[in-house]
Structure 1
Amino acid sequence: MEKFSKLKELVAAVETDADKFYNSGNGAAGTRVRKAMQDLKTLAQDIRTEVTEKKNSGK
């Protein structure tokens, strides 16, 4: 559950940069958004792996 909380925090943290990029055209904010999305992807994959392991250990 710790990783899931971290995922939510990361989404909340990138929200201001996403707003700056999409609404103000700030290119540097776009770079930060791209990096955050890559971090989210990695974290989401870690969560998927953890869930699969936990699910399969019960069988």
Structure 2
Amino acid sequence: MQSLRIEKAKDLILNFNQEIGEVANAVGYKFHGSFSEMFKRATDFTPNEFRKSAF
């Protein structure tokens, strides 16, 4: 389940102009901080680092 959330978050981060908090909510996280921690554990990037590395 967690990997599905992270994959959806990657898609939202790269393909839509949403703030990270909005992405977190869209994939089922109530708190931006816990989303960022989980994203970092799964990808070795924070959500913002991931967005910047793609461009």
TM-score, length-scaled by structure 1: 0.32
Higher percent of residues as helix: 1
Higher relative contact order (CA 8 A, sep 6+): 1
